[in-house]
Amino acid sequence: MIRRPVVAGQFYPQTEISLRKMLSGLLDTASEKQDAIGIIMPHAGYVYSGHVAGLTISKVALKKTVIILGTNHAAAGERFSIMTEGIWATPMGEVKIDVEIAESILKESALLKKDTIAHMYEHSIEVELPFIQYLKNDIKIVPIVISQGSLAEYRKLGEEIASGFQKVGRSGLFMASTDMTHYESEEVAKQKDRLAIDAILAMDEEKLFNAVKQENISMCGVAPTCALISLCKKLGATKSGLVKYQTSGDTSGDYSSVVGYAGMIIW
C-alpha cells in the first residue's frame, strides 16, 4: 500500500519545488555530522518548528534506514503499531519501508502489532520525512506509532525494538517525534520543558515520565521519547545533547500561548 500525505499544504508546502526551497533554508548541509544512535525532532508546521528540526537533523550522519517513533494524537488503531511493508509518499517522492528491519522488530516484540490504521492520518512521522528525503534520497524507514501506556511498557518496547534491530545486523538511526509543552505562556513552557530536557540529558526515561506526569507537561511524544531512551541505552548510548530549543512565539510573536520545540541527539 501507499500511505499518502495528509498534512502537505498545511504543515509544509504542497509542491516539491516549494518544499525543497523551504528545506534549503532550514537545513545546514555543511554542518559537521555526528554518528548518533538516536535523535529527537519536533513535528509542528515548518514555519514554527522547522528551524529546530532542520538544525538538529543536519548534525547527524543519516543511515540507510531511519526507525521513526511517532506519537498517536488521535488514539486510532493499535496502541503500539508498526507498518512492516509499503510506501510513504510526500511531495518529495516515495519512501519505502525497510521490510527486513520492520519484520525483525515485530517478531521480537510482544507489544507491537502490525497495523496501518494508526498511521493513516497521524502527522508525527509524515512531517519528518521531507527532511530525511532532502538529505538522502534513497533512504528507507520503519514507522512505529506509540500511544499512551505505562513506563514499564515503554521500557519493554524500547528493549524489544533494539533486540529486533540488532538481529538484522545493519546500521540505522532512531528518531522520536515530539513537541514539548502546548499552549501555555512562554515563561511556563520554558520552565516545564527544562525539566523534560534535563531528564533526557540524564538519559533517564523514568525521570522524564514522572516529570511529565507530576508537572502536567503537555509533551505529546513522551511515549516515543521514553521508548527511544530505553532502546538507545540498550544499543550502548550513554550521552545526549540539546541542539536547539525554541517556541512558536519566536515565529508568531505571541508569547502568551506557545508550543515548545526541542531538537536533541543521543549517542
pLDDT digits (tens, 9 = 90+) for 15-57: 999 999 999 999 999 999 999 999 999 999 999 999 999 999 9
Scored b (16 or more CB within 10 A) or e, 191-201 reads: ebbebbbebbe
| Beta strands at 258-266 and 182-184: parallel, antiparallel or unpaired | antiparallel
Q: How far is CA 23 from the centre of its chain?
A: 17
- What pLDDT digit, counting tens, does each position of 233-267 carry? 999 999 999 999 999 999 999 999 999 999 999 99
Q: What one-character-per-residue DSSP string does 99-130 give?
A: HHHHHHHHHH-SS-EE-SHHHHS-HHHHTTHH
Each residue's pLDDT, cut to its tens digit, for the chain (267 residues) gives: 999 999 999 999 999 999 999 999 999 999 999 999 999 999 999 999 999 999 999 999 999 999 999 999 999 999 999 999 999 999 999 999 999 999 999 999 999 999 999 999 999 999 999 999 999 989 999 999 999 999 999 999 999 999 999 999 999 999 999 999 999 999 999 999 999 999 999 999 999 999 999 999 999 999 999 999 999 999 999 999 999 999 999 999 999 999 999 999 999
141's enclosing H/E stretch is: strand 140-146
State residue 157's pLDDT score.
98
State residue 112's pLDDT score.
98
Q: CA–CA separation, 34 vs 104, rounded Å?
A: 26
Query: Residue 121 is which amino acid?
Result: Y
State residue 127's pLDDT score.
98
Query: Residue 243 is which amino acid?
Result: V
Scored b (16 or more CB within 10 A) or e, 96-114 reads: ebbeebbbbbbebbebbee
Q: How far is CA 237 from the centre of its chain?
A: 17
Out of 3.20.20.30, 3.30.1330.60, 3.40.50.300, 3.40.830.10, which CATH number does the structure's domain 2-266 have? 3.40.830.10
Which residues, in sequence order, are bridge partners of residue 41?
177
